[in-house]
């Protein structure tokens, strides 16, 4: 295979993975899983941007978009999971404490 | 959640919702095709180098070597000023809603040991990132993000304040970016150079000054956003309601 | 040009995907993920437009715009999450 | 060019509130005096800017001393200055009112910096000359508005404003995609330069049209144009009174201003009658639906919020008329009428909300059916509501009377008589909902002893309503002169 074709194939693999991650994040009903997938999406996005010669933006996206945004969402997902858990456990015992 | 008697109805409702989301999917797919076509046209519209050549040509006069930093803190510095205001607004909005929820359980010795060298490393890297942003990838945002990340790690390790100082100091750190930016800009205006128009000789140092302030503000704001509430007055005495609302049973390590 | 179209096109698909998810999913967290993916799509378009092939320095202006956009997006996300948490707390107590 | 004192107020209008926000954040104990100081300073900067533009014509400033396409431009033409002046005067009134409104010191401290940031965003939006800068301003506006709206912390307020925040984000992302397309096609972000490129290059019609649709629909969502208004009533009705006033009178107006600006300046070569007609139909639906819901509302603040939906609708009725009217005095009349209605609504609605807030704190509720005796307890406030109400209806001599008159005249002259029906229906419904409030407020009780009971709270509401009725109606002439001052380049 010639080099441009190889590069094109590489690009297509990069982008397909990106779209697959986004689709998985969007379709996942379970909060923690969705957030994990979103973080993976953000990190992959920054990888793609590095490929497009945008290292500054890639760094920022990895650190702020995926990293901090993900951490914030993860905390919220954990809280949601805990609330759901408490909802089911309430009947049996006040076990959440 | 649904009562058995409602099942039939909720089934129908669910079916309807699925139909609706399918219909929306089809419509939006159409929108996607239109957007792709339009984007193709736009790409071939003949605007090709756009601002690239001009922006790159002016870099030597901008006081920094990294073109992206030149855009951020020089050509389009005004955007960056407003953006710092956005970050400030978000933190103020968060503070207006609730006091800081309690942090996580103090982490194990191993983790604490790890934190004690990761955090200084992050802070040093942040300083390096700020400095290197003048001529290589990096800059105030990335540096600020690293500072914020250090705060997140500190909080995860059990310090509820995320290593941030008390409220009074924190408030000054938060506004440092906006304040420095606006004051430098106004000073330049009063001296006759024009708002945020750096004289070439001073550009490098003024930009470094602004970027340092912005880094601290961004780092503080990101860490404060992760804390997720107004810093409590002294130490941490979360109210009873808060304490029961979020038991500190979850930590980084496995649940007891 | 092919790469520009390919990457930008992926960004547009992300935009539409996020929009769809925003419209059909009710939970706050899913809406926020959807919005962030939409935003990521627009940023992706800008980064693709800035790309000028290997060996050529890309257009720095869109890069700076995206940097600004990323910070704005995370600020809004943080505020929305705290508002959501506030609602959840109240639901539990009330 | 750069050490020009003339353009300094342009910068000060935006930096002074930013500085004020920084200082009120850093020194929360002195938030009130610092906030008032910043409010006064900002307002004087805006007035100075108005005088400058009046004397010297439209102003333009390129920041940083770079080429205009590379840097960010600020611009102040007649339209921008007219709205900025209104916004700053209203904001000053709101500031005075707010200085005595919040009892809880914690809330007071939270209010001031957010409020000044919102103010900065408003001025920044009115005076911006750059597409991406507008995006950042929109986000600042959206975030501060939602945070302020949720300030009471009540369940309704938080959930309504969370929804508002999300909807606003959706709108701005859509706007940003439009900007990205325009940058791809035309290679610059400066409003004037993009406008020139659009006019020069009709091969890219499809791209420009797509950008127009993305940007205008994003902004219509933020401007609560029917049927995208669903988020507005709960968000505005549950906010603290000074915030409701700002949201309804100013924040929504900023998005409308931007639509008008894009429609008339940027996309002028490609906006046809059909597109204008579509927006006007939505506006007509908003007029009827909003007025109807206002009539049925049980709470005073909800009534005011629905009335905002209707009043925003009127502004869109002008678009198809402007589309078919060639440049000349009739078109100037239409444009002036449009701005006059926007200004009147700004003053009247803020006065209305401030007064409603007083009624609420005084009576402990704002249920319209139980307002009996308000006229006796709060005569000045009731008078303010009556004045603001008459401006909302469009009674003479209010500014909206002239606005509606010219709107109907334009509609008949351009053969689009059906808008007259919409305007009359809206006005009739408006008089019904205003008189419903007033008839409850005036019970059969003895006349009051004191006209004004709490000056700091009542006078701003009264003055704002008075401006809407008297000043804008009787002395609207200068507006024509002001609006004739257009910026070079774009239009």
Residue in D114, D133, D181 nearest the CB of B79:
D133
Q: How many residues does chain C have?
A: 94
Q: What are phi and psi of D59, to 5 degrees?
A: -110, 150
- Best probe of the A interface among C5, C8, C14, by most A CBs < 10 A, is C14
Domain spans of chain B, in order of start: 7-43, 63-232
Token pair listed for A30: 């379970």
C60:B52 CB<8 A: yes
Contacts of C74 in chain B (CB under 8 A): 222, 225
pLDDT digits (tens, 9 = 90+) for C31-54: 999 999 999 999 999 999 999 988
pLDDT digits (tens, 9 = 90+) for C49-94: 999 988 899 999 999 999 999 999 999 999 999 999 999 887 766 5
Helical packing angle, B167-190 and D8-26, nearest 10°: 160
| Full domain range(s) for residue D443 | 284-485
Contacts of C7 in chain A (CB under 8 A): 11, 15, 48, 52
Sequence-ordered list of residues with C-beta below 8 angstroms from that of D319, at least 6 positions apart, any chain: D263, D276, D277, D279, D280, D283
Q: Residue B250: what pLDDT?
A: 34
Q: Give the residue on A whose Cα is nearest the Cα of B133.
A: A56
Count of C-beta atoms within a 10 Å radius of residue A90: 11
Determine, yes or no, domain membership for A79: yes
Measure the CA–CA gap between C86 and D147, rounded to whole angstroms: 13
Is B24 part of the contact surface with chain C (CB cutoff 8 Å)? yes
B85:D204 CB<8 A: no
Task: Read off the pLDDT of each residue in B28-55 and give the average, rounded to a whole number.
Answer: 92
| Full domain range(s) for residue A9 | 3-89
Total structural domains in chain A?
A: 1
Sequence-ordered list of residues with C-beta below 8 angstroms from that of D185, at least 6 positions apart, any chain: B41, B42, B45, B47, D197, D201, D204, D207, D208, D211
Q: Residue D156: what pLDDT?
A: 93
- Best probe of the D interface among C19, C24, C42, by most D CBs < 10 A, is C42
Between A79-93, B129-143, D298-312, the lowest mean confidence (pLDDT) is in: A79-93
Measure the CA–CA gap between D463 and D459, rounded to whole angstroms: 6
Count of C-beta atoms within a 10 Å radius of residue D111: 28
Q: How far is residue B164 from each of residues C11, C28, C88, D49, measured CA to CA in Å?
A: 37, 29, 26, 41
Q: How far is residue B232 from each of residues A96, B165, C75, D156, measured CA to CA in Å?
A: 25, 11, 22, 26
Token pair listed for B194: 């024009």
Measure the CA–CA gap between D177 and D213, rounded to whole angstroms: 10
Determine, yes or no, domain membership for D364: yes
Sequence-ordered list of residues with C-beta below 8 angstroms from that of D290, at least 6 positions apart, any chain: D226, D229, D306, D307, D308, D309, D310, D311, D312, D313
Token pair listed for B181: 């930016």
Does the domain spanning C2-93 belong to CATH 1.10.287.3510?
yes
Closest CA to D115 of D138, D98, D129: D98
* Residue whose token pair is 């906010």: D239
pLDDT digits (tens, 9 = 90+) for B10-19: 788 888 888 8
Q: Residue B81: what pLDDT?
A: 96
The distance of C61 to chain A (nearest Cα, Å) reads 11
- Best probe of the D interface among B168, B194, B221, by most D CBs < 10 A, is B194
Q: How many residues does chain B have?
A: 256
Measure the CA–CA gap between D137 and D118, rounded to whole angstroms: 9
Listed as ranges, residues in chain D with pLDDT below 50 are 1-3, 488-491
Token pair listed for D86: 């209104």
B138:A63 CB<8 A: no
Count of C-beta atoms within a 10 Å radius of residue B85: 33
Token pair listed for B48: 């090709």
pLDDT digits (tens, 9 = 90+) for B192-251: 888 999 998 889 899 999 999 999 999 999 999 999 899 876 444 333 333 333 333 333
Token pair listed for D117: 């940031």
Helical packing angle, A31-51 and A69-89, nearest 10°: 170
Determine, yes or no, domain membership for D132: no
* Residue whose token pair is 């309690």: B102
Determine, yes or no, domain membership for A28: yes
Share in percent of chain D as helix, strand, coil (round to 5): 80, 5, 20
**What are the DSSP calls for A28-92, one per residue?**
--SHHHHHHHHHHHHHHHHHHHHHTT-HHHHHHIIIIIIIIHHHHHHHHHHHHHHHHHHHHHTTT
pLDDT digits (tens, 9 = 90+) for B147-205: 999 999 888 888 888 888 889 999 999 999 999 999 999 999 998 888 999 998 889 89
Sequence-ordered list of residues with C-beta below 8 angstroms from that of C17, at least 6 positions apart, any chain: A19, A22, A23, A26, C37, C38, C41
Token pair listed for D406: 């010219």
Buried b (16+ CB within 10 A) or exposed e, B111-126: beeebeebbeebbebb
pLDDT digits (tens, 9 = 90+) for D158-210: 999 999 999 999 999 999 999 999 999 999 999 999 999 999 988 899 999 99
Share in percent of chain C as helix, strand, coil (round to 5): 85, 0, 15
Q: Residue B108: what pLDDT?
A: 73
Q: Give the residue on D whose Cα is nearest the Cα of C31.
A: D166
Buried b (16+ CB within 10 A) or exposed e, B166-196: ebeebbbbbbbbbbbbbebbbebbeeebbbb
Contact B140, B214 (CB under 8 A): yes
ipTM: 0.94
Instruction: Give all strands (DSSP E) within D181-260, no chain letters.
Output: none
Measure the CA–CA gap between D351 and D343, rounded to whole angstroms: 12
* Long-range interactions of C87-94: CB distance < 8 A, separation 24+: C87/D155, C87/D158, C87/D159, C87/D162, C88/A79, C88/A80, C88/A83, C89/B98, C89/B245, C90/D155, C90/D158, C92/A83, C92/B245, C93/B241, C93/B245, C94/D155
Token pair listed for C11: 């960004």
Q: Residue B256: what pLDDT?
A: 30
Determine, yes or no, domain membership for A97: no
- Is B touching D (3+ C-beta pairs, cut-off 8 A)? yes
Residue in C1, C68, C75 nearest the CB of B80:
C68
Total structural domains in chain D?
A: 1
Contact D266, D490 (CB under 8 A): yes
Measure the CA–CA gap between B47 and D197, rounded to whole angstroms: 10
* Residue whose token pair is 């404060």: B224
Is B238 part of the contact surface with chain C (CB cutoff 8 Å)? no
pLDDT digits (tens, 9 = 90+) for B56-82: 999 998 888 899 999 999 999 999 999
Token pair listed for D148: 């302020």
Q: What are phi and psi of D128, to 5 degrees?
A: -75, 150
D75, β-bridge pairs: D60
Residue in A31, A57, A65 nearest the CB of C73:
A65
**What are the DSSP calls for chain B, one per residue?**
---GGGHHHHHHHHHHHHHHHHHHHHHHHHHHHHHHHHHHHHHTSS-TTTTHHHHHHTHHHHT-S-HHHHIIIIITHHHHHHHHHHHHHHHHHHHHH-BPPP-PPPPPHHHHHHHHHHHHHHHHHHHHHHHHTTTSS--HHHHHHHHHHHHHHHHHTT-TTTT---HHHHHHHHHHHHHHHHHHHHHHHHTTS-TT---HHHHHHHHHHHHHHHHHHHHHHHHHHHHTSBPPSSS----HHHHHHS-TT--SS---
Residue in A29, A52, A79 nearest the CB of C85:
A79
pLDDT(A95) > 90: no
The distance of B249 to chain D (nearest Cα, Å) reads 27
């Amino acid at each position: 295979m010639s080099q441009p074709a190889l590069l094109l194939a590489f690009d297509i693999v990069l982008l397909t993975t990106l779209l697959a991650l986004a689709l998985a994040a969007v379709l996942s009903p379970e909060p923690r899983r969705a957030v994990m997938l979103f973080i993976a999406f953000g990190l992959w996005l920054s990888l793609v941007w590095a490929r497009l010669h945008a290292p500054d933006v890639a760094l920022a996206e990895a650190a702020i978009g995926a990293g901090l945004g993900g951490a914030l969402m993860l905390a919220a997902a954990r809280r949601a999971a805990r609330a759901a858990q408490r909802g089911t456990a309430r009947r049996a015992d006040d076990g959440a404490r | 959640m649904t009562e058995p008697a409602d099942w039939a109805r909720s089934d129908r409702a669910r079916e309807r919702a699925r139909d609706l989301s399918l219909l929306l999917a089809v419509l939006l797919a159409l929108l996607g095709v239109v957007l792709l076509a339009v984007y193709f046209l736009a790409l071939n519209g003949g605007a090709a180098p756009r601002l690239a050549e001009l922006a790159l040509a002016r870099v030597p006069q901008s006081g920094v070597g990294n073109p992206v930093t030149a855009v951020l803190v020089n050509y389009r510095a005004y955007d960056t000023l407003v953006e710092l205001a956005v970050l400030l607004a978000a933190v103020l909005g968060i503070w207006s809603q609730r006091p800081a929820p309690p942090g996580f359980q103090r982490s194990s010795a191993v983790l604490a040991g790890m934190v004690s060298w990761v955090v200084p490393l992050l802070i040093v890297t942040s300083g390096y990132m700020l400095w290197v942003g003048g001529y290589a990838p990096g800059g105030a945002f990335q540096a600020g993000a690293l500072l914020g990340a250090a705060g997140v790690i500190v909080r995860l390790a059990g310090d509820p304040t995320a290593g941030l100082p008390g409220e009074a100091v924190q408030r000054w750190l938060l506004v440092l970016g906006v304040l420095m930016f606006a004051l430098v800009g106004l000073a330049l205006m009063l001296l006759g150079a024009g708002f945020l128009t750096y004289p070439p000789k001073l550009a490098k140092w003024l930009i470094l000054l602004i970027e340092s302030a912005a880094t601290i503000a961004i780092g503080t704001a990101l860490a404060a956003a992760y804390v997720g509430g107004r810093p409590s007055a002294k130490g941490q005495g979360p109210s009873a309601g808060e304490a029961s609302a979020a038991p500190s049973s979850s930590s980084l390590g496995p649940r007891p | 040009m092919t790469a520009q179209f390919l990457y930008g096109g992926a960004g547009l698909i992300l935009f539409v995907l996020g929009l769809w998810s925003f419209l059909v999913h009710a939970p706050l967290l899913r809406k926020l993920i959807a919005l962030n993916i939409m935003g990521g799509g627009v940023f992706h378009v800008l980064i693709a437009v800035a790309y000028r092939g290997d060996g050529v320095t890309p257009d720095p202006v869109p890069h700076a715009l995206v940097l600004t956009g990323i910070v704005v997006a995370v600020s809004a996300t943080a505020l929305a999450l705290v508002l959501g948490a506030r609602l959840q707390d109240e639901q539990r107590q009330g | 060019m750069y050490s020009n004192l003339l353009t300094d107020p342009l910068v000060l209008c935006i930096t002074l509130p930013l500085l004020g926000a920084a200082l009120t954040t850093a020194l929360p104990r002195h938030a009130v005096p610092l906030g008032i100081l910043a409010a006064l300073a900002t307002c004087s900067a805006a007035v100075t800017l108005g005088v400058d533009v009046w004397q010297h014509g439209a102003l333009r400033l390129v920041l940083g001393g770079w080429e205009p396409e590379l840097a960010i431009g600020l611009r102040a033409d007649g339209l921008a200055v007219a709205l900025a002046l209104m916004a700053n005067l209203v904001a000053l009134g709101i500031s005075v009112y707010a200085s005595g409104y919040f009892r809880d010191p914690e809330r007071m401290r939270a209010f001031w910096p957010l409020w000044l940031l919102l103010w900065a965003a408003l001025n920044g939006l009115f005076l911006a000359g750059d597409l991406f800068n507008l995006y950042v301003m929109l986000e600042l506006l959206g975030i501060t508005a939602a945070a302020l709206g949720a300030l009471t912390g009540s369940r309704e307020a938080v959930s309504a404003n969370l929804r508002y925040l999300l909807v606003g984000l959706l709108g701005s992302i859509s706007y940003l995609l439009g900007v990205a397309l325009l940058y791809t096609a035309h290679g610059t972000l400066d409003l004037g330069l993009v406008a020139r490129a659009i006019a020069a290059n009709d091969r890219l019609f499809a791209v420009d049209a797509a950008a127009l649709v993305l940007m205008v629909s994003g902004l219509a969502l933020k401007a609560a144009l029917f049927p995208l208004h669903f988020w507005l009533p709960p968000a505005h009705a549950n906010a603290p009174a000074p915030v409701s006033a700002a949201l309804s009178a100013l924040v929504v107006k900023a998005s409308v201003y931007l639509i008008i600006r894009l429609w008339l300046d940027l996309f002028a070569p490609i906006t046809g009658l059909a597109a204008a007609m579509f927006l006007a139909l939505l506006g007509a639906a908003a007029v009827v639906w909003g007025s109807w819901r206002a009539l049925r509302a049980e709470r005073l603040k909800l009534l005011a919020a629905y009335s905002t939906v209707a009043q925003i609708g009127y502004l869109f009725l002008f678009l198809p008329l402007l589309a078919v009217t060639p440049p000349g005095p009739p078109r100037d009349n239409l444009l002036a009428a449009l701005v006059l209605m926007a200004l009147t609504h700004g003053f009247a609605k803020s006065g209305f909300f401030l007064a409603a807030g007083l009624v609420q704190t005084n009576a402990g509720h704002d249920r319209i059916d139980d307002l009996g005796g308000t006229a006796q307890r709060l005569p000045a406030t009731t008078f303010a509501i009556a004045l603001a109400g008459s401006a909302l209806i469009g009674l003479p001599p209010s500014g909206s009377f002239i606005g509606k008159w010219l709107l109907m005249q334009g509609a008949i002259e351009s053969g689009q008589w059906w808008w007259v029906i919409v305007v009359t229906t809206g006005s009739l419904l408006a008089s019904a909902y205003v008189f419903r409030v007033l008839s409850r407020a005036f019970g059969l009780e003895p006349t009051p002893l004191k006209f004004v009971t709490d000056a700091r709270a009542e006078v701003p509401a009264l003055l704002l309503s008075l401006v809407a009725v008297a000043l804008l109606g009787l002395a609207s002439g200068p507006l024509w002169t002001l609006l004739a001052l257009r910026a070079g380049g774009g239009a």
